[in-house]
Structures are given as C-alpha cells and as structure tokens.
Amino acid sequence: MLYCYSETQPDDLLNGFSTMMDGGSDARRITIHKPADFAPMRKSGRLAAETLDMIGPHVVPGVTTEALNALCHDFIIAHGAVPAPLNYRGFPKSTCISINHVVCHGIPGEKKLQDGDILNIDITVILDGWYGDSSRMYVAGTPSTRAKRLMDVTYESLMRGIEAVKPGNTFGDVGHVIQNFVESQRFTVVRDFCGHGIGQRFHEPPNVLHFGRPGEGPRFVPGMFFTIEPMVNAGRPEVKILEDGWTAVTRDRSLSAQFEHMLGVTDTGCEIFTLSPAGYTAPPYQ
Ligand code: MF3
Ligand code: CO
Ligand code: CO
C-alpha cells in the first residue's frame, strides 16, 4: 500500500497555475510555480539544510532523540520559522527521527542512541508560508561496514535520481534510475512511501515514486517543486506501521536508510533547494 499524504487535489490555487499532466495513474494537478517563487523556496530549503548541519555534532551515543528534537525545534523557531511536523495530522513532535530498522516517521522520545546506531533526521520548516523539507542520515559513534554501505548507496541513489530531473524526462525516469542503482547494489527500495510535490503546502501532487520504468509518469516542466526521498532497505522492501500509527519499520527488521532533497525544475535541469551550506553530503560529516 502506498501511504501518500495528498489523496485529494489541491483545493485552491494559491500560486502560479496548475496543469493536468498526462501521467497515467498518477495524472493529477501539479502546481507550476512562477520564476519568482524560487526565491522563497531557496530560503525555506536553506533553513532546513542549516538545521541538519546544526544537529550533526549533537548525534552521539547517550543522547536521546527527544533532546535532538528539542534542539531542532528551538533552532527553527529562532530563525523565524515553524516546524511543520508538529501537530501535522496528529504527529506529536517537531522532527521525525528514524533509527536503524525504522524506515521513516520515527517519533522522538527518551530512547538513548547507542554506539553504531544509524538514524535519519527529517526536518520540515515553514518559513514565510513556504515549506522546506530535507533529511539526512547520521551515525552515533562508528557504523558497521554494512550500515555505512547502505547509507552511501542510498545517498548516491538520491543524487543519481536528481541528475535525471530535467524538462523532457519523466518522473518514471527518476524512479527507474534510483531502483536500478539500489538493486544493482543488492539493496531494496521501499514502495510504500514516496516523495511529493511541495511549495505552500507540505504534500501535494504528484507522488514521486522511487521505482518505475523509463517514460512513465508526468513530464518535468520548469516550475515544478517536489522532493525525492528514497528509503532503501538492507533486506526485504516490506514495511509495517507500529501501534502509534506513525513509526514505519522494516518487516524483516533489516536496516533502512533515507536521504531527502527538495528541488525545483529549471529550463535546463533542476535547482536543489536543500544543499548543505556546510558542504555536508553523507556521513561522516567533518
Ligand atoms: N518530512 C516528511 C516527508 O518527507 C513528512 C513527515 S510528516 C510527519 O514528507 F507528520 F510525520 F511529520
Ligand atoms: Co518529504
Ligand atoms: Co521530509
């Protein structure tokens, strides 16, 4: 099952115009933003990236995920923004922190990180009404060789997918590149969660799948804003949701990794809004 946040079409057109793309089963209304809308997305994307830069040195064995959440919350507020996850569809915290076999939507709490834990921290800010959404992997202490390779493959799959974003190509081209690379490395792509359109809403059409066939799905048009956020498992791709209604874990309890960038389609390719000002890519960050 695909858990997508935007089952309904945007109810109103806050900005730019919308167009019905010929995208097969994912044909939906995708907002085409104005050139002037890139500027506020650069600001919101940069703040999300700065939050991820800030938190890195705090990810150490013994720290609780609630403490990391609080640091991110305060940083976002201090920069004049609001953490989008807090109270979003009942989510109780300001960030998602997903450790080891948690695939996504982990809820920060009093659990202490242990040496060798790998974790995803997913930050979404709302700055001047515009969303900025990005996530990276971190390590407490020293990762296993396999965990390190899982993170490296996941990061590279994201960047290879981004390379395929340009007018003329389709969303299916991106999904195919990601799936092809991940499976060539003997890891698997999670099917139940996807990237999403974004802008003045958290989640809007289209669903950005991290698997697929070349030529499938809508074609890229300058002014489309969306995330790519592949979740990659060391074992089987299936997930289940825990009793809290949020935490997604691998069914076989294998390790899972994820990186997320937010980008806008340009005339010649795309602009990544969430690049790290510190130049951080994948762990180790130094
Ligand atoms: N930031 C996540 C994403 O990449 C969404 C988190 S929704 C929440 O789309 F409610 F779990 F915070
Ligand atoms: Co996202
Ligand atoms: Co996110």
Q: What is the 3-state secondary structure (H, E, C) of 66-93?
A: HHHHHHHHHHHHHCCCEECCCCHHHCCC
6: confidence class by pLDDT, cuts 50, 70, 90: low
Q: How many whole angstroms from 37 Cα to the centroid of ligand 1? A: 22
End-to-end alpha carbon distance in the chain: 39
Average pLDDT over residues 58-71: 99
Structure tokens at 19: 């167009």
pTM of the model: 0.94
pLDDT tens column, 207-228: 999 999 999 999 999 999 999 9
As its CATH architecture, domain 3-272 has Alpha-Beta Complex (3.90)
Q: Which residues approach ligand 1 with their CB closer than 6 A?
A: 85, 88-89, 91, 96, 105, 122, 124, 133, 196, 227, 229, 260
Share of the chain above pLDDT 70, in %: 92
C-alpha distances (whole Å) from 144 to each of 147, 223, 250 are: 5, 41, 18
Q: How many whole angstroms from 133 Cα to the centroid of ligand 3? A: 5
Cβ neighbours, 10 Å, residue 89: 10
